[in-house]
Structures are given as structure tokens and as C-alpha cells.
Amino acid sequence: MNSLIRPEKLSKNIAKYLVFKFYFYGDSITNLRIQKLIYYVYVWYLVLKRKKAFKERFQAWPIGPVLPSIYRDLKSYTAGPINPNYSSIENEKNLEELKRNLGKDLLEIIDKVFEEYGRMSAFDLVNLTHSELPWRSARKGLEITEKSSNEIKDSDILSFYGEKIKKRK
């Protein structure tokens, strides 16, 4: 990661890169869908690299894992597609700068998440996260629509997704 970029902007840069990728491949992305994809970027970076992609923590909202700063940043789009201009990528130079800021390791994970989960709808992704232990554990004792700022624990992520990797080997 480029040392000039502020760590709190890293999640926003992941969002920008995902918006760019979706539009580049002729698709669009909503706030709901991007939340889940950034969550899986965080998950797989943590599991595979054994370090956090960024410091901000995901909260277990009724709609699944949410990164509050990205939600606030994109809430003006409501349920509609995020404008491709959000990515701030106007040319190859902008794209290369964004990639450099993300770093090779993180970029690799983002691209893998895009390949693995990118074709899934927002609601498929919500259903998937709802079926997985880290979100369910953070929501324990709450009604399905009850608001919550409970954080999803890294230990739950490492345990649950780490087991998934062991089963694949």
C-alpha cells in the first residue's frame, strides 16, 4: 500500500475500484451489493494474508455486514446504481494510481472476490452473509429487523472462513 494514502481512505478506494470494475464489464453496483463485496474483500484478505485490509469494522445490520463509512458515503444513491463517476477514474493514469494505492496483495484479493462473488445479486449476497456464522453471531439475540451496531468479530471471520479453506484443500 502506498504510504501517502490515509488508512481511513482505503475502504473508499476499494469501493471506487469495484465501481470501476463493474462499469468496465458492463454492469452496475448498488450500495447494498458493494457492502457485501467489500466485506468479502476484508474477509479473504484477513484469512489469506493474516492481517486486516483496513481498520474500520463491519457492523451486523439487518441487511448483512455494513461498513458505516461507505454506507454514509453512498447513501445518496439509495437502492439505485452508484454513478460510475464515483470511481474518479477518468483515464489509465487514474486507474494505475488507484491500483498502486491499493497495493498488489489487496488488488489480488479484490479481483478474486469480484470473480467469485461479482455475478451474485445484492440479495443473493445478503442471503449468503445471513447464512454465515460471523454475521449470525454478531446478531445473536436480535430480531431480524432490529437495528444494531454490533461489530462482526475478526475471530469469528478467521474461524468460519478458515474452516472453509481447510475443507477445500
Please report the pLDDT score of residue 166 as a whole number: 74
Band the pLDDT of 9: cuts 50, 70, 90.
Answer: confident
Please report the pLDDT score of residue 8 as a whole number: 53
**Dihedral (CA of 101, 162, 34, 84) sign:** positive
Using the structure block, give the residue that is written with the C-alpha cell 481511513.
8
Please report the pLDDT score of residue 169 as a whole number: 63
Please report the pLDDT score of residue 1 as a whole number: 42
Query: What are the structural domain ranges in the chain?
Result: 7-168
Cα gap 4→98, rounded to integer Å: 12
C-alpha cell at 158: 478467521
Of 15, 139, 162, whose CA–CA distance to 87 is shortest? 15
Position 7 pLDDT exceeds 60: no
Contact 109, 44 (CB under 8 A): yes
Cα gap 3→49, rounded to integer Å: 19
**What average pLDDT does the segment 142-149 reach?**
96
**What average pLDDT does the segment 60-73 reach?**
97
Burial 137-149 (b: 16+ CB within 10 A, else e): bbbeeeeeeeeee
Please report the pLDDT score of residue 165 as a whole number: 82
Q: For all residues of the chain together, what is the average pLDDT?
A: 93
Least confident piece of the model among 7-11, 18-22, 132-136, 159-163: 7-11
